[in-house]
Amino acid sequence: MTAAVPADQEKPSDIDNKPTPLDPEADADEALKAICQFVLSDLPVDSPACEKWHGLNAYIEELCGYSIERLSREPDDLSSACIRLRNELEDVACGNYRALIESFECAGAVRDGVADVRSRLDSLIDSLPKLADATRRFSAGVTDKQLERESRLRAITEHRAVADIVEMPRLMTTLISAELYDEALELRECAVKLYAMHSDELLIRHVCEEMDVLTQQMVLQLLVLLRNPIQLPMCLRIVGFLRRLDVFAEYRLRMVFLHCRGEWMRIGMETSTASTRQAELVTLSDNMRSMMFEIITQYRAVFNDDFEGSFERNEDESTTRTGRSYSHSSAILSDWTSASVTEYLNKLSDGIKDVKDGAALNTILQQAMYCGQSLGRVGADFRAALPPIFEDAVVKIYCSHLNAALRQFEMMIEDNRWAPVGSSALRKERGQGGAGQQKSREAGSNQSGDLSTNQFDPPLAILDSPPLAVFLNGILAALNDLRLCAPISLGPRLGRVLQETLVNAGEFMAAIGGPGGAFLKRSDRPHYIAMASSLRNLCTPHATQCLEYCMNTSGMVDVDAIQDALTKIFGDTLPSGSSSNPDSGVEGGFETPADQTDRGSSPTQHQASPLPNSPEENGFINESGKSESESNLIL
């Protein structure tokens, strides 16, 4: 027998297989749905769902209550009812044919109208933002138009005052053209006040803008006036106008004043009708002296020299600091003066390069020195800067004379006959004339108590050698040009040039005649040796002595070095004494310096030489301290 199992120990499978309790309402609904599906299963596929059949559920419930007989007759009843309803529908359709067509057309029209309304509503919705923007713009435009209308109404009401305001730029233009600057400034101040009170008015702003443009034109016109030759009262007026216009800071105004006046001076200095370079440079110095003196005087009268710690214009810190550093009138004037003097010296330096005459150079120097002396009264003395500028010009002129003398000497040496000029009788006659001339000079010298200038007379023995006499004439001509303006600092340099010229002359003679005249005829050799001796013993000492006197410096040229160089060039054939004509009757064909002194000098063969004690000024030998004793030999 099998033991009984407790109730709480039943198997799970037994519990799952227990029947679920029945729900009458749910079962009825399920049964109703099943019947509906069965009934509608024979309908076409495109038939509506059972949920859309009106009264279907009630009919199914009614069928469930029928008897079997009634249910068997129900299909026939339904067929008869269907035929009857179809017939009735056909009768209704035939009887109401027009109404059905009209209703169909009306339904289509309604459908189309609804679609059109829907599309129009969509476009209206899309255009609503644009409409809102247009509305806002219109509102703003209405406000502006209203303000414009009010402005025009007010303009019509105040037409006379508006007309006066509109005429302000034209009136200021007329005043500026007529140079009525006081009235123009008053009109500008009136415009500034109007702008301060009615800055929001468009008309006032436009008028003030035009007035600003006209103000700039007036400033330019005033600056153009400063570039013209005007006097101090006009300068004061112009600076006063510029200060009232308040367009420049104080330091800037001073710089602009000097710049404009400097332009006037520059144009005046560049405008010259002179036909020569000398006249042009003299005119340049005259214009520089007068114009610069006038500008400095005007500046000091217009502006004071006190340091100004503040300015009328309110500028940023950096600009104010810069303005204060330049506001000192003397500093600004000093900078401008230095620049102007530098420009003048540059023009002078460029101009004297074309000057080839010592007298012209001396005239230019004197005018420049006078210009510097005159400007020294206003603190612009530049005379100390002139010697370096004139040194090159002096050396150029000096070298050109020496080169010309050397070329002439070389040309005459090539064509020289190597024969003495004149006779012993002529030299005797010259000696007698020279003795009388010497006595007259000694008498004049005793009366004046000065040093005799006999030492600067050229040795007459050189006249026996025409090439050498012409050569010495050229050297003395160079010294005559040099003594007009001789920079003291050029002494050693001029001495070297003279030394090179003398040595070059000896070298050319040696190249023509050879050592001791070996390249010449035997009869020409004594004359060649005599000329070489005169070059070494007479021409060299006399030329160096005259140069040292012109420069007012002794020992500037080493005569012994030149003579030694000439001795090396000519060889040992030269005697130690001064040369003379071989036919003069002196022993050995030469005469001693004592014989030469006894002969004297012809009054027609020399000029007076300058005094030994000539004063100096600013690095130049003063011409007024020299007499006319530096001599030229006259052939």
Q: Is the pTM of this model over 0.85?
A: no
571 exposure class (CB count in 10 Å sphere: 0-12, 13-18, 19+): middle
pLDDT tens-digit readout, 50-64: 666 667 777 777 777
Percentage helix, strand, coil, to 5, in the chain? 75, 0, 25
pLDDT on residue 601: 36
pLDDT on residue 592: 36
Decide if pLDDT at 555 tops 70.
yes
Q: Are 592 and 578 in contact (CB under 8 A)?
A: yes
pLDDT tens-digit readout, 233-291: 999 999 999 999 988 988 899 999 999 999 999 998 888 777 888 889 999 999 999 99
Decide if pLDDT at 606 tops 80.
no
Residue spans per domain, the chain: 109-156, 158-215, 227-378, 390-435+453-625
Of all residues in the chain, what percent carry a pLDDT higher than 90?
19
Decide if pLDDT at 325 tops 70.
no
Cα 290 to the chain's mean position, in Å?
28
User: Which of 17-31, 49-63, 360-374, 471-485 has the highest mean predicted lDDT (pLDDT)?
Assistant: 360-374
Write the secondary structure of 539-584 as one string of H (helix), E (strand) and C (coil).
HHHHHHHHHHHHHCCCCCCCHHHHHHHHHHHHCCCCCCCCCCCHHH
State the chain's maximal CA–CA distance in angstroms: 205
Residue 208 CA: distances (Å) to CA of 152, 334, 546: 20, 40, 79
pLDDT bracket for residue 146 (50, 70, 90): confident
Q: How far apart are CA 614 and CA 147, in angstroms?
A: 94
pLDDT bracket for residue 343 (50, 70, 90): very high
Instruction: Give me the helices (H) in 449-558, please.
Output: 466-482, 491-513, 525-534, 540-551
Decide if pLDDT at 218 tops 90.
yes
pLDDT on residue 421: 56
Q: How far apart are CA 311 and CA 243, in angstroms?
A: 11
Decide if pLDDT at 567 tops 80.
yes
pLDDT tens-digit readout, 35-47: 777 766 666 666 6
Decide if pLDDT at 490 tops 60.
yes
Tokens representing residue 280 in the block: 């042009």
Residues making up the chain, counted from first to last? 635
pLDDT tens-digit readout, 522-541: 777 888 888 888 888 888 88
Decide if pLDDT at 135 tops 80.
yes
Q: How far apart are CA 255 and CA 337, in angstroms?
A: 12
